[in-house]
Structure 1
Amino acid sequence: MSHFERPSSPALLPSSARRRLVLGATGAAALGLAAPALVRAQAEAFTLGHLTPRTGFLGPMGEYAVMGATLAVEEVNAAGGVLGRPFKLMSEDSVNPQTASSKAQRMVERDKVFALVGEISSASGLAISQVAARAGKLFFQTGCNSDELRGKTCSRTMFHTEANNSMYVNAMGRALLRDNMVKGKRWMAFTADYAFGHDLFARTKAFMEANGAVFVSNDLVPTDTTEFSSLILKIRQQKPDLVMSNLAGNQTTNFMKQYNEFNLPIPLAGADLNCVSIWGAGREGFSGVWPIIWTHQVKAPSAQAFVAAFNKRFGKPPENQAVSDYLAVKIIARAMNETKSDDLNKLIAYLESGVKFDVLRAREGSFRKADHQLLFEMYTVTPNPDKNAGKWDVMTTSAPVPGPNESLEILQPQDNTCTFA
C-alpha cells in the first residue's frame, strides 16, 4: 500500500491494527491534534531547492531565473498543486561551485527538498548534479550550456531545459550560412575563460572548420573583465573577416558597447546571448547576429500568454532565462501529476518516454532519452531596423531554427558520450 492510500474501512484491518488505530485516534484527540494533524500532513509542501547566481557577472540572468520559477510555482499552486500538495520554492544565490555544492547538500539534508532546480554556471551545475545523484534527487538544470554536462559528466537524475553549446553554435552557424552573412574565411574569437567558454569555443571551432573557416586567434578573457579596448585594437590590427564572441553574461554587453564605439567595419557574431545583454547594450550598443533560445517576441499562443502573465506579475517582459526555470517547474509538476507519484524512477521513466511538452514555442518539445536534453526550436536575433521600437524590442527575432520541416535533432551534437550510471 502506498503512503497515498488509506483503507476504506477500519473493519478491513486486522484486529491488532484496529486497536492501534483506535488508541492512536483517541490519544491524538485527547491532545486536540487528530484532524488538524492529518490536514497538515496532506498539505505539507513539496519544496524545490532553487540555486542560481544572484550576484556577479551572471547575476542579471539569475534574477530572471528566480522570477520565472516563482511564477511557475504560483501557477502550479493556483491550479491545485501536485498530488494534493503545494509546491514551495526555496531560492538562494549559488555564487560559485563550492557554494553551490554546499548549499545543495544543505537543502537535501536539512531542508528535505524534493528536487533541485536552476543554475547558470556549468561548473556549479556539475557540482549540484553530483549532490543530486548521491541523494537520489531530480535536478533540472536551467542555464548551463556545457556539452560535457550532457556527455561524459551526464547524470541519470539531471535533465536540461537550457540549450547545450552545440545547439547554440549550430543555430548561429546555420543562420550565417543561410543568409551569406560572412564573405571571408579568417575569423577571430574572444572566449570567456571558464568551463562554459572553453567548451563553446571548441564547438564553434569544429563547426567553422567543417565549413571552411579558420580562426586566426582566440583570446581567453577573464570573467571579471569589463574593459576591452586592447582586444578591440587587436581586431583592428589583424583585420579578420568576422569577430566571434564566446563571452558570457554582462561581459557580452560591455564588449558589444565598446566594439560599436570603435566603429569597425568588421561583422560581429556570437555563439551565446541573453536578452539582458541586448537590453543592457541598448539600441546604440547591440549589433551582430546571435543565437538565442527564446525571446518575448515569439508568436506562439502559449508564449504570448506567458509574456502577458509575466508582465502582469513583474511589470516587464520575461527574459530567456526566465523561460528555462519556468518550464522546469511546470514540467516537474506535470510529471508528478500524470504519474500520480513522487517516486524518482517513475518520474525519470516518464520524462524519458518521449512525452511532448508545451515549451512556449510553435512546436512541442521532448527530452532525449540518451542525455536528457530538452529538444526545442531556437532563434537568431539581429538589431531591429525600426528606430521607434521600444527599449525591449531593440532586436528582431528570426523564424525558428530548424525550419518547420526539419528534425529538432539537427542542432544536437554528433559526438555524444553520455553513459548513465
Structure 2
Amino acid sequence: MATAALGLGAPAILRAQSNSIRIGHLTPRTGFLGPMGEYAVMGVTLAVEEINAAGGVLGRPYELLMEDSVNPQTASTKAQRMVERDRVDVIVGEISSASGLAIAQVASRAQKLFLQTGCNSDELRGKSCSRYMFHLEANNSMYVRTIGREMLRQNMVKGKRWMAFTADYAFGHDLFEKTKRFMDQNGAVFVSNDNIPTDATEYSSMILKIRQQRPDLVMSNLAGNQTTNFMKQYREFNLPIPLAGADLNASSIWGAGEGSFSGTWPIIWTHQVQSPTAKAFTERFTKRWGRPPDNQAVADYLAVKVLARAMQETKTTDVQKLIGYLESGVKFDVLRAREGYFRPWDHQLMFEMYTVKPAEGKPASKWDVMQTSASVPGPNESLEVLAPTREENACTFA
C-alpha cells in the first residue's frame, strides 16, 4: 500500500549520494488536507524516481526530503530547518495557502526557490507575491471563472439566489470573495454565506438551513475532507437544489464515491485528460501506486519535472538564473493538450482547466465516477482569460 510504503504522517527522507541536489518537500499529510497530501507525496516521489533513473540532473541525483507541514507554524519551522540544517536547494509542495505564505517568507529570506503546488489564494500571487515563489496550482480567480462559465451556460447566475458555505481559513475566505465578485458582476444574489470550521464533519444543520431557505443553487467553498463529507450528507438529504463548487480535488470525488458525488465543479486536471503525455503519465502513476493520479499528484509531479528541465537548460542550480529561465516565457508540457508557461510578473503557471460532474450511466471503475469536460478555455482562446490581469493583481516583486 502506498501510504505504508511512504510512512505517511512521519518524516521521510529518500537518501541519495553526497553530491545530490536536495529538494525539500512540504505538504500536509495529516488533518483535513491529508488525503490530498498523500497524492502530493506520490506525485513528487514518482518524478524524482524517474529523473534519477534517467541519470539525474547535471550528472547529479535528486535527493528528496519530505515532511508533514500540518499548519502554518509547523510549515515555517520545518522550512527553516530544511534551509539551515538540511541545506536544501529548492522547496516544493504545500496545499494550505496560509502555510504556503509562511514557507514563501522563509524561502524569500534564504533566497531559495519555492515551487508551490496546491495553494489557491490570489493573495500569494498578489500583495504577498515573491520573486522566489512560482505557482503550479491555479489561483481562486481561475477556479471561479472556470465554474462561472459553466454556470452561465446553464443559466444559473443572473437573477438566481445562491447560498454559500465556506472553509473558515485563508483559502476559503479568499475563494468566497472571488466567487461573490464574479456573481455580483453577473447578476446573482447571495442569500447567505456560512464559514465552516476546517475540522467540521457534521453538516445536517447546514443542510436543514438550505431546505428552509430554498435557494436556486448551493455553492461550496469548502476544502479537503470538508467537501467529501458535505457531498455525502447532501445526497443523503436528497435535496432537489443544484449543487456547485468553486474548488474540487479528485480525492474528494473518490472519497464521496458513486451515488454521493454530485454537482458541477472546476478542477485543474483529472486522469481522464486525453492528451498523449497525460495518458502516459496516468499509466506510469497507476503502475507505480495501484491507483490513478489526482490533480494534486500531477501538480507536485510537474514541479519536479519543470525544475529538472530548468536546471538542464541553464546548466546550473543557481537560483537567480533559474528564476530568469522560468520568467522567460519558455513553454512546458503540462500533461494537457496545450503547453503551459509562467507569467513573468506574478509567476502563475498558465494552463487549461476543466469542469467535472457525475458520470452518466454506470462508471467504468470506482475512479471514473466523474465526467471531465473539454478544456477551459477553449482551444482558440488565450490561456490568460481565466486569470487576473495586471490591473486586478497587486503583485510587485521586491
Structure 2 match to 1:3: none
2:366 to 391, 404, 407: 391
Q: Distance in 2 between matches of 1:318 and 1:112?
A: 30
Counterpart code for 1:416: N
**Between the two proteins, what is the percent identity of the paired residues?**
78
Structure 1 match to 2:43: 68
Q: How does 1:319-358 map to 2 (within 5 A)?
A: 319-358=294-333
State the 1:388 CA deviation: 4.3
Structure 1 match to 2:337: 362
Q: Does the CA-based 8 Å contact 1:298-1:397 persist in structure 2? A: yes
1:293 to 258, 268, 272: 268
Deviation larger for 409-418 or 299-308? 409-418
The question of 1:279 aligning with 2:254 is answered yes
Q: Does the CA-based 8 Å contact 1:187-1:240 persist in structure 2? A: yes
Structure 2 match to 1:251: 226
Secondary structure of 1:57's counterpart equals coil
Q: Does the CA-based 8 Å contact 1:43-1:86 persist in structure 2? A: no
The question of 1:418 aligning with 2:391 is answered no
Q: Distance in 2 between matches of 1:363 and 1:188?
A: 35
Q: Does the CA-based 8 Å contact 1:83-1:336 persist in structure 2? A: yes
Q: Distance in 2 between matches of 1:326 and 1:143?
A: 12
Which blocks of at least 5 consecutive residues in structure 2 are unaligned?
1-15
Structure 1 match to 2:118: 143
2:33 to 58, 65, 68: 58
Structure 1 match to 2:211: 236
The question of 1:112 aligning with 2:87 is answered yes
State the 1:181 CA deviation: 4.8
Structure 1 match to 2:3: none
Structure 1 match to 2:10: none
Deviation larger for 318-327 or 73-82? 73-82
Moved over 4 A (4+): 181-184
1:304 to 257, 279, 282: 279
Q: Does the CA-based 8 Å contact 2:97-2:121 persist in structure 1? A: yes
Counterpart code for 2:317: D
Q: Does the CA-based 8 Å contact 1:184-1:241 persist in structure 2? A: no
Q: Distance in 2 between matches of 1:286 and 1:265?
A: 14
2:64 to 89, 110, 117: 89
TM-score with structure 2 setting the length:
0.94
State the 1:389 CA deviation: 2.4
State the 1:178 CA deviation: 2.2
Counterpart code for 1:420: F
Counterpart code for 2:140: N
State the 1:125 CA deviation: 0.3
Counterpart code for 2:117: T
State the 1:179 CA deviation: 3.5
State the 1:183 CA deviation: 7.7
Q: Distance in 2 between matches of 1:104 and 1:355?
A: 28
Secondary structure of 1:171's counterpart equals helix
1:201 to 165, 176, 181: 176
Q: Distance in 1 between matches of 2:47 and 2:322?
A: 19
The question of 1:382 aligning with 2:357 is answered yes
Q: Distance in 2 between matches of 1:390 and 1:348?
A: 42
Deviation larger for 303-312 or 77-86? 77-86
Q: Distance in 2 between matches of 1:420 and 1:183?
A: 38
Q: Distance in 2 between matches of 1:388 and 1:65?
A: 25
Secondary structure of 1:88's counterpart equals strand
Secondary structure of 2:257's counterpart equals helix
State the 1:83 CA deviation: 1.0
Counterpart code for 1:100: A
Counterpart code for 1:98: Q
State the 1:332 CA deviation: 0.5
State the 1:370 CA deviation: 1.1
Q: Deviations over 1:35-94 (max 9, x none)?
A: xxxxxx996101100000000000000010000000000111112211110001111100
Larger helix fraction of residues: 1
Counterpart code for 1:219: D
Structure whose CA Rg is larger: 1
Counterpart code for 2:205: S
Q: Distance in 1 between matches of 2:83 and 2:158?
A: 53
Which blocks of at least 5 consecutive residues in structure 1 are unaligned?
1-40
Q: Distance in 1 between matches of 2:150 and 2:52?
A: 40
Q: Distance in 2 between matches of 1:76 and 1:241?
A: 50
Counterpart code for 2:126: G
Q: Distance in 2 between matches of 1:92 and 1:349?
A: 28
Secondary structure of 2:367's counterpart equals helix
1:172 to 132, 147, 157: 147
Counterpart code for 1:380: T
Secondary structure of 1:391's counterpart equals coil
Q: Distance in 2 between matches of 1:400 and 1:246?
A: 22
TM-score with structure 1 setting the length:
0.89
The question of 1:48 aligning with 2:48 is answered no
Q: Deviations over 1:232-283 (max 9, x none)?
A: 0000111101100000001000001111111111100000000010001111
Q: Distance in 2 between matches of 1:295 and 1:331?
A: 19
How many residues align? The count is: 381
Q: Does the CA-based 8 Å contact 1:182-1:241 persist in structure 2? A: no
Q: Does the CA-based 8 Å contact 2:114-2:133 persist in structure 1? A: yes
1:186 to 161, 169, 172: 161
> Considering only aligned residues, what root-mean-square deviation do their CA atoms show, in Å?
1.2
Q: Distance in 1 between matches of 2:157 and 2:395?
A: 34
Q: Deviations over 1:306-332 (max 9, x none)?
A: 000001111110011000000000001
Q: Distance in 1 between matches of 2:154 and 2:335?
A: 26
Q: Distance in 1 between matches of 2:385 and 2:345?
A: 15
